[in-house]
Structure 1
Amino acid sequence: MSIDHLPRITAVLCLCLFTTVTGAKTWQHEQGTLTLGETPKRVVALNWAATEALLLLGVTPVGVADKAGYSVWVREPELPESVPNIGTRVAPSLEAIAELEPDLIVTSSEMAPATDLLERIAPTYVISVYKKGSKPFAKAREMLLTLGEILDREKRAQAILADIDDTLATQRQRLQRHGVADQPVALVNFLDDRHVRIYAPNGLYQTALNALGLTNAWPHAGNYWGFSVVGLEAIAAYPDSRIVVIEPTRPGLSQHLEDSPFWTYLPAVQKDQVYQIDAVWPFGGVFPVKRLAVNLTNSLIDGGTNNVR
């Protein structure tokens, strides 16, 4: 090769390198940066908030963590049965993930110690909807919009958020029209027949309550997940509140509560102001806010009882 051709070859190589670099996109995340040269096609989700966001965007993950629990606690958007499970959310199988040959992994800071290992398998995006000082719904919106950019589905992400806003406004109007928006509500999951997880003003559920014009009966801040664990007697301090029981509930709970003085003497129970709604994942992304708003509105309009199924 003539030495005269070297400048031309060097120029071509530089141009190719420049095109490759400028064609890539970079996003900041909690553990560093994510740089991609093309849109990912095979995505693994290591928590349910990420799984939910991908499904909303029309992207079926090639692997998820804790698949069985998703259908019990999250339910919507529906996860196809064909999606493989790759272990638990706190300890996924790196080997199972690698076998799926993903080109993107979405995880959160709970998996921070494993980020370097995940990066060896595929580019990894780390975002935590729930951590100290975070605002869950704002962070969930950020996750959806960013994944929309990464997956070339920005318009779909924006449409999803617009639909949630419209739904919340519609449900608020329904509550006002039926005159059932004035009384506070206590949102709870039963842990056993004496203790509940009660949802606090700093949690994801509060976004739905605010949008619906409802007051949270529980005024105290919870942990960064947005809840506190209390005995049933703690609810008695708020006698004007309605109690909303969020499924799932333990088998046999109804019978235990019927025999429980802690339950039967609560003002809401005595006034038939107990409401039960389908499961809504309190540690998810944006969609649980819509799901809670619709389920809660329907239940409050239909009327209460003094019983838990």
Structure 2
Amino acid sequence: MSLPTVVPAASPTPAPRRPAKVWTRVAGLAVAAALVLTGCGGTAASGSDGEGKSEKKTSSAAFPVSIKHAHGTTEIPEKPKRVIAVSWMSLDVVAALGTVPVGVDEQWGGDKDGYNPWFRTQVEKLGGELPEILNYGDAGEMDFEQILSLDPDLIIGLYSGISDVDYKRLSEIAPTLPYLEKPFDGGTWQNMTRTIGKALGESDKAEALVTDVEGQLATVAKENPQFKGKTFAYGVALTPGSTEVGMYVPYDPRVRLLTEMGFENTPSMKVITDTVKGTNWYGGVSLEKLDTVEADVFVAWANDPKEIGYSLKDPLFKRWAPIKTKNYAFVKDATLGMATSGPTVLSIPWAMERYVPMLVDAVAGKGTPAS
């Protein structure tokens, strides 16, 4: 069966620039992990409260399932067995709930095959085969022929930019669950877990996973009381020619993750949000106006470790308070960048032992070295 080429969904990047070659191929990915500021009028999953909590049902007893989203309502008649996960995070949740996807997007920071370690470990634990990596055209268009050949009975893209046209084409293949409210906004990782749990008939298991990981984050906060009340801004390392610092808005996943560990958003967030353009999930603060952003700590990701050294040498950037006092943490490992930019019930536990020590050093004024 031949499916027509469609207008591709927007292909966001995790920061104000394209981070790596994978982003030229993957429609519906973002760094990090991320989001837009204007809504599409969608609603939360049917049968859930404002936090996306679903009624506790499991397996066949949960079906049929009806879930509302930005493009309409998706009906899932029976428990899915062959799931395709588009974009970030969804694949982790599907696997964590006991189903190995048959097709997934190549993941930023993944190994030579395109899989992140926490996902590969979970698939091995389940005794399944690693899924097929989805193909995209040069303009980011989906390979509908490939998707059709995988014979899915559910397509999930909660953290994606699936357009209305794409949604209609995908729905011709299988029930499709796109973003609930806004492109590249999967909501909280808790909400995403519960929504996918409902779609797979595993609401009880989803709730147990959320409780477990929330407990781990609460432990991190308890064991690191120095995090409490510390204000932060999350941004991007500079590159040659940069005249501003890219910084993320409050609902971005990596920002939310820090607040769950005890940190507080900068009280100067309006300075950042006022610079957001269009549907971007980040703003750009001029280097000359960095002192208008109040923050005890600056956390950022770097596409290349060399960018850290470049940033720290910039005459304007290094005068900014958290940089001057070495209260900064640069995530220079792409895999850790993915784990914390698109946090999930699988990636958060993996990330904590690597991420927390960096944050401890940042609060203590022992910022990440350039090399």
Do the two structures share a fold, i.e. TM-score over 0.5? yes
Identify the residue that residue 55 of structure 1 maps to in structure 2.
95
Give the total of aligned pairs: 281
Identify the residue that residue 13 of structure 1 maps to in structure 2.
none
Superposition map of 1:87-236 within 5 A: 87-88=135-136, 90-107=140-157, 108=160, 110-128=162-180, 130-131=182-183, 136-137=187-188, 140-176=189-225, 179-190=226-237, 192-193=239-240, 194=242, 195-217=244-266, 218-220=268-270, 222=273, 223=276, 226-236=281-291
Moved more, 79-88 or 160-169: 79-88
Instruction: Report the AA paired with residue 114 of structure 1.
Output: D
Which structure has greater helix proportion? 1
Shift of 1:99: 1.0
Q: Structure 1 residues 131 and 273, CA, compared in 2 at 3 Å: closer, same or farther?
A: same
The answer (yes or no) to whether the contact 1:196–1:230 under 8 Å persists in 2 is yes
The answer (yes or no) to whether the contact 1:197–1:228 under 8 Å persists in 2 is yes
Query: In 1, Cα distance between the equivalents of 2:224 and 2:269?
Result: 22
The answer (yes or no) to whether the contact 1:203–1:225 under 8 Å persists in 2 is no
Superposition map of 1:10-21 within 5 A: none
**SS at the partner of 1:110?**
coil
Query: In 2, Cα distance between the equivalents of 1:24 and 1:160?
Result: 21
> Is 1:83–2:138 an aligned residue pair?
no
Q: 2:299 aligns with which of 234, 244, 250?
A: 244
> Deviation string for 1:145-178 (max 9, x for gaps)?
23212323222211111012212211111221xx
Query: In 2, Cα distance between the equivalents of 1:146 and 1:38?
Result: 16
Query: In 2, Cα distance between the equivalents of 1:102 and 1:135?
Result: 21
Shift of 1:263: 2.7
Alignment gaps of 5+ in structure 1: 1-21
Moved more, 143-152 or 164-173: 143-152
Shift of 1:306: 6.7
Query: In 2, Cα distance between the equivalents of 1:52 and 1:87?
Result: 19
Alignment gaps of 5+ in structure 2: 1-60, 124-128
**SS at the partner of 1:78?**
helix
Identify the residue that residue 49 of structure 2 maps to in structure 1.
none
Identity %: 20
Query: In 2, Cα distance between the equivalents of 1:41 and 1:135?
Result: 22
> Is 1:299–2:358 an aligned residue pair?
yes
The answer (yes or no) to whether the contact 2:84–2:102 under 8 Å persists in 1 is yes
Larger Rg, first or second structure (1 or 2): 1
State the Cα RMSD in Å. 3.5
Identify the residue that residue 34 of structure 1 maps to in structure 2.
74
Instruction: Report the AA paired with residue 136 of structure 1.
Output: G
Identify the residue that residue 279 of structure 1 maps to in structure 2.
337
> Deviation string for 1:17-50 (max 9, x for gaps)?
xxxxx99503133233333343111111122132
The answer (yes or no) to whether the contact 1:184–1:240 under 8 Å persists in 2 is yes
> Deviation string for 1:166-195 (max 9, x for gaps)?
12211111221xx34343222222252434
> Is 1:267–2:321 an aligned residue pair?
yes
Query: In 2, Cα distance between the equivalents of 1:126 and 1:135?
Result: 9
Query: In 2, Cα distance between the equivalents of 1:257 and 1:158?
Result: 42
**SS at the partner of 1:146?**
helix
Q: Structure 1 residues 258 and 148, CA, compared in 2 at 3 Å: closer, same or farther?
A: closer
Instruction: Report the AA paired with residue 192 of structure 1.
Output: T
The answer (yes or no) to whether the contact 1:104–1:123 under 8 Å persists in 2 is yes
The answer (yes or no) to whether the contact 1:131–1:225 under 8 Å persists in 2 is no
Higher relative contact order (CA 8 A, sep 6+): 2
Identify the residue that residue 50 of structure 2 maps to in structure 1.
none
Query: In 1, Cα distance between the equivalents of 2:187 and 2:99?
Result: 22
